[in-house]
Copies of this chain bind each other. A is one copy, B any other.
């Protein structure tokens, strides 16, 4: 694999996420992405031969980032549980008021199957946490509460205040032990 002039792939992926977030998931067209990335449509199609490939790229990018971030957190405080790392990571992700993954809605509209890797990852993560936590009930509550937090952030729903979110996180960390 040759080194590109500039790394267009990542620019394009970032642009796609930007477009979905700012113009709405329904406005994620190839032209909009290309324009946003400062790339021609031909250049975009060169990197992602089809829109499906672009969606797939978004999912893979998202997952690899997530994995890296989680692993980094789990490593930096190895005494902590992975569950705690997951809680803190998610709390930080949701700190940012902008939903960074609106592109998921575009992907679902295109084809719901694009999300299967994400579902699989979540399942895998859950299994991993099960092996680590002794009280399944607590794990379930924590895991689902995180899911709820992430979901609210994704939908750009600001039901909770800043303080409430912090209280939630500390409550979850307490439950996680």
Contacts and interface: CB of A to CB of B under 8 A. Distances in A.
Interface of A: 24-26, 102, 105-106, 108-112, 115, 119, 122-123, 126, 136-138, 140-141, 143-152, 155-160, 164, 167-168, 170-172, 175
B143 A112 contact: no
B112 A159 contact: no
A136 B119 contact: no
Given A147-B148, A149-B144, A155-B115, A167 B137 contact: yes
A148 B149 CA distance: 7
A136 B167 CA distance: 8
Q: What number of copies of this chain does the assembly contain?
A: 2
Contacts of A175: 141
Among all A-B residue pairs, the 9 with the closest Cβ atoms: A147-B148, A148-B148, A151-B151, A144-B148, A26-B109, A137-B171, A144-B145, A140-B168, A145-B145
Contacts of A106: 109
Given A26-B111, A140-B164, A150-B151, 14 more contacts: A24-B108, A25-B109, A26-B108, A102-B112, A119-B157, A137-B167, A140-B160, A143-B148, A144-B145, A144-B146, A144-B152, A144-B168, A146-B148, A148-B149
9 contacts: A105-B109, A115-B157, A140-B160, A140-B164, A144-B144, A146-B148, A147-B148, A147-B151, A151-B151
